[in-house]
Chain A
Amino acid sequence: MTRTLPPNSQPTAAPDALIIPLETRVPGRATTSLPLRREGPAKLTGVAKYADDLVFPGAWYGATIRSTEPHATLVGVDLAEAFDWSQVVVVTAADIPGDNVVSLIRDDQPILVPIGGEIRHQAEALCLVASADRETLRAAKRHLSVRTERLPAVFDPLESTEEFSHLEVGQGDLDVGFAEAELVIEGTYRVGHQEQLYIENQAMIALPHPDGGVTVHGSCQCPYYIHRALKRSLQLTDEQAVVVQAETGGGFGGKEEYPSMIALHAALLARKLGKPVRMIYERHEDLSATTKRHPAVVTHRTGVMRDGRLVAQEIDVVMDGGAYCTLTPVVLSRGVLHAGGPYRCPNVRIRGRAMATNTPPNGAFRGFGAPQTEFAAETQVNRIAEALGMSPLELRRLWAYREGDTTPTGQVLRESVAAPEVLEAAAEASDFVRHTEQTGRARAARASDARSASGIGLAMGWHGAGFTGSGEVHIAGVASVELTDMGVVRVLTAQTEMGQGTKTIFPQLVAEELGLEPEEVEVAPQDTSIVPDSGPTVASRTAMVVGGLIIKAARRLRAQVEAVTDRPFPDSYQLFARDHGGMRVDERFEPYPNVQFDDATYTGDAYPAFGWACAVARVDVDLDTGEVIVRDVVSADDAGRIIHPVLAEGQVEGGTLQAIGYATIEEIKLVDGRYLNDRLATYLIPTSLDAPRIEAILVEKPFSGAPHGAKGIGELPMDVGAPAVVAAIHDATGVWIHDLPATPERILAALTGAPTPAAPGVSVRAPDRGGA
């Protein structure tokens, strides 16, 4: 069921008229029936071509030789004489013409570890092999060995001395706040790794050009990241490097930065060989080597008054970046900026640091640092409510941001604050108050030998829309709308479709401006030789930022055509194209009015706007085994403006289920810096039987800076699901689980008073290897 809140409505205690009838005309919303997913039929009928479906005659198969140690010097690569090496091509770091770095924030991660170089994590790429058939490739891998000298390894971010980044935000005076506080509550929360688990593994195919250039086709979120990486390391011009997105089976952030690595590998092999090379990961390799969500340790100290007022928040965030920097500083900053939760507090200090360990690098994942810190923040709030004897709903009514409030970076929330609305909507739809009374009574009356218990839990959250700080200004994305000389309207952006709906909503937005049907608007392929760099498909920015650009471009196109034809665009654009040829309008990002951020001091408008969310989860806990069944979840999410309600609900449902996996079962154990849960038999995510009933409530509190008011929705539900589930487990059992995932092992230990199981995300050392 979809319910939406009228624009600009005021918060009410119990909103009952949340529905905008579908026929109501709002910018970008289809006026007739909702368009089907643009690429849906091809996917359903199996016609869609994912990377591994693409056929390039004569292509060879590539493979990566990886380290089996967490920290070592690479002494040499030995090719056994027993094997005929003329049947294969081998690439080492010495074959890289340009810089041996995967271009991103910091130049620390090599494409391949050079001889004499430092291996910094398990499964790190050391060299590459390709062969015409898989049998020979397998044989070649068996005859290739690496010599290493082991170095001491660091696995615990709290013990690491190597820092990727740190930052601090705050306002007011903590000493004053804590002096005033009548109650101080402390808590430490830990979260482990999480795997994105896109359905399609990482995959890239590289085709060499005669002039030394290269075209890569593959699964990715950000074609221009790959473009930049190829240019730099292969020393290519803009035109020599071409990146084409194949149909992509999910990303969740996992295909933000890692595809640059695999594209570089495929391209290096293809250039040396002079033939196309396919680099298609199997699941085991994908799980072992690619990026995960950052583990984190978050410590809270909160000062409150007996009447519930929040007076001081001191928060310390430590993230484990893994062996290389990747996007870690940006993940940390988003984590820190969201660490206080969506609550008004006069005295705040939040400190964060991201540390290096000898584990595979962590990277982008839906929520980008916020799910970690918001789990901690919300669990802390729920514990405070318990300590004060207040309802967690009441406490949030008291604390939640309203328009005019100021965040710890000094950002004044001038508009588009839907914290009260999402809170009330979720509480009402879930009947939170009544259920809480029921579960409370049941808990009080429960016999000590009861077999099961039910509970309900609530959490809320916020998510900064688009890039952090001056990110969008630095990206300066360009998007275009074109009327071709054949009389076809098409949208040109680098925004990728990975199942979330880009290719469906962009034609909707443009058609709306031009007075056409969505089906009449084409989407140009995500091919860097065709589309401009409109920035990466990340940070829930596509609908808000790039959607805004194409609306503006469409408006200009319409005006220019109508100025010439003097007739409405729909009636005249084809004649215009016939008589005057095509016309393309490029629109470059302009800073949103009155949005300013100082990167040096970390003050100002950290985000142009925030999305708001609240989730209520109900669980059953088996008191014998600690097993949890999440029964149902209500998730109310404000995305500013809902462009396509069905796709938006899909984002809420998928994000909620991913959050439930994070909350309950998704865990990676490590030995010697190596992931043990590196197959689908051991890395378990919820199945359809584990999925709860999910009710998505879509709330609309538009952002005036975007022409259509949209703020992005993809990440919001990921921030709130886990703390809601943990609160429900507490409501059922009376125990607080501070570490994610809240596995039966952790729950049973808490119920029986047994020692807390090991912290998530920290590797143990292999017994036969000495400690460092």
Chain B
Amino acid sequence: MPVEPHVTSPRTLSEAYALLAQQPHRPVAGGTDLLVQITGELGDPPDRVLDIWHLDELRGIAVDGDALVLGALTTYTEMRRSPLVAEFLPALSEAAATIGAAQIQNRGTIGGNAANASPAGDTLPLLIACDAELVLGSERGERSVTAGEFWPEYRRTALAADELLLRIRFPMVGDRQVRFRKVGTRRAQAISKVVMALAWRGDDGTAPWRDVRLALGSVAATPIRAGATEAVLDGASPDQSTADRAASTLAGELNPIDDVRSSADYRRAVAARVLHRLIREAGGW
């Protein structure tokens, strides 16, 4: 049954900050998560909603110094169409293309994906693997939180009640390679069973990998990094024995659950197999 909470649509960021400082509001960006949640069926709807769609301060894709910066309101369609994303972070346009379908991509935002804090949020592992920084703001000022610290527990973020997520900074590291892979139930409109982002630094070819980051979604209560597997990969060359060891380490280190979308066994097995494939493809064997 429809519910109709009170909605305010500020025109400027300072107006939004002032409203948030006065009273708690639930922000709405594209609304593709929020509108599903506030049917009245799934718990009490929020009393007040803050429509941030008109805050142009939260839009835009730009290169700022050594970082690619996406405003929190950047939609998946904008990511897919952006030449900057294609050039500096192609894995992000790849990820954007797997989310929902055209309608969701037109409305859904990267900020909404991050702030919604679903363990199945598809961009979240990518943010973690790329050492992204989330810039938060309020009347009290701005601060940055690393992606690794942004989701402390199930469906929680580092955002304070009066804060908005403003933008996301992806540091541009010259020799960093990033791969993304999502396993869902169907070819569109599918929530992930397992989603994985793998980043490493190294020369082309089979040189040893450095600064390896392996982040996964849908396998725990929050998006996680697979530390033991990263340790196997760090300093190793992407050859068959590395792939074998990394895959079995990953299967051992994950502790997913059975749920309505998939099983723990499948998630563990498929994560290991997908990782094996990514290493193999990178190693070119």
Contacts and interface: CB of A to CB of B under 8 A. Distances in A.
B260 A138 contact: no
A627 to B, nearest CB: 7
A755 B191 CA distance: 25
A691 to B, nearest CB: 10
Contact of A754 (B40, B193, B269): B269
B260 A689 contact: no
Contacts of A284: 41
Interface residues of B, number: 28
A669 interface: yes
B183 A627 contact: yes
Interface string A724-766: 0000000000000000000011001100101101000000000
A665 B186 contact: yes
B77 to A, nearest CB: 17
B266 A689 contact: no
Interface residues of A, number: 32
Interface stretch (B68-76, B219-227, B270-278): B270-278
A627 B101 CA distance: 19
A392 B260 CA distance: 36
Interface in A666-710: 669, 676-677, 681-682, 684, 686-690
A138 B185 contact: no
Contacts of A684: 185-186, 189-190
B33 to A, nearest CB: 11
Nearest to A685: B186
A687 B101 contact: yes
Contact of A625 (B187, B263, B273): B273
Contact of B186 (A449, A681, A682, A689): A689
A184 to B, nearest CB: 33
A686 B188 CA distance: 9
A359 B262 CA distance: 22
Contact of A624 (B36, B193, B263, B273): B273
B269 A682 contact: no
Interface string B198-240: 0000000000000000000000000000000000000000000
A745 B184 CA distance: 12
Nearest to A63: B1
B187 A669 contact: no
Nearest to B274: A624
A134 interface: yes
Interface in A439-478: 449, 451
Given A284-B41, A627-B183, A665-B186, A748 B2 contact: no
A677 to B, nearest CB: 6
A429 interface: no
Nearest to B277: A624
B269 A752 contact: yes
Contact of B187 (A137, A138, A681, A690): A690
Which of B190, B193, B269: most chain A Cβ within 10 A?
A: B269
Given A282-B1, A687-B101, A665 B185 contact: yes
A682 B263 CA distance: 14
Contacts of A688: 188
Contacts of B273: 624-625
Interface string B243-285: 0000000000000000011110110011001101100100000
Interface in A498-546: none
B270 A624 contact: yes
B2 A134 contact: yes
A629 interface: yes
A687 B186 contact: yes
Interface string B31-49: 0000010001100000000
B260 A676 contact: yes
Nearest to A745: B266
A686 B269 contact: no
Nearest to B270: A625
A682 B270 CA distance: 20
A198 B60 CA distance: 41
B231 to A, nearest CB: 23
Interface in A106-160: 134, 137-138
B276 to A, nearest CB: 8
Interface in B1-36: 1-2, 36
A134 B1 CA distance: 7
B interface majority secondary structure: loop
Nearest to A746: B266
A687 B185 contact: no
Which of A282, A451, A744, A754: most chain B Cβ within 10 A?
A: A744
B279 to A, nearest CB: 12
Which of A624, A687, A755: most chain B Cβ within 10 A?
A: A624
A754 B265 contact: yes
Contacts of A748: 266, 269-270
Contacts of B265: 745, 749, 754-755, 757
A51 to B, nearest CB: 17
Interface string B154-181: 0000000000000000000000000000
A669 B270 contact: no
Contacts of B263: 745, 757
A690 B186 contact: yes
Contacts of B2: 134
Contacts of B188: 687-690
A749 B189 CA distance: 25
A687 B189 CA distance: 8
Interface string A622-654: 001111010000000000000000000000000
Given A624-B274, A748-B269, A629 B187 contact: yes
Nearest to A688: B188
Nearest to A668: B260
A627 B265 CA distance: 15
Nearest to B275: A624
B98 to A, nearest CB: 11
Given A684-B185, A752-B269, A677 B41 contact: no
A627 B277 CA distance: 15
Nearest to B191: A681
Contacts of B41: 282, 284
A451 B263 CA distance: 22
Given A669-B260, A676-B260, A744 B266 contact: yes
B187 A687 contact: yes
A138 B266 contact: no
Nearest to B183: A625
Contacts of A744: 183, 193, 266, 270
A677 B186 contact: no
A76 B41 CA distance: 24
Contacts of B280: 449
Contacts of B185: 665, 684
B40 A138 contact: yes
Nearest to B101: A687
Nearest to A629: B187
A690 B101 CA distance: 12
Interface string A55-94: 0000000000000000000000000000000000000000
B171 to A, nearest CB: 30
Contacts of B186: 665, 684, 686-687, 689-690
A9 B13 CA distance: 76
A525 B185 CA distance: 42
Nearest to A687: B188
A175 B265 CA distance: 43
Contacts of B261: 682
Nearest to A681: B191
Nearest to A684: B185
Q: Top 7 closest A-B pairs, CB basis?
A: A689-B187, A676-B260, A745-B266, A624-B273, A689-B188, A134-B1, A687-B188
15 contacts: A134-B2, A138-B1, A282-B41, A624-B276, A676-B260, A684-B189, A687-B101, A687-B186, A689-B101, A689-B187, A745-B266, A748-B266, A748-B269, A752-B269, A754-B265
Given A687-B186, A749-B266, 14 more contacts: A138-B1, A138-B40, A284-B41, A449-B280, A624-B270, A626-B270, A629-B187, A669-B260, A684-B189, A684-B190, A687-B187, A689-B101, A745-B262, A752-B269
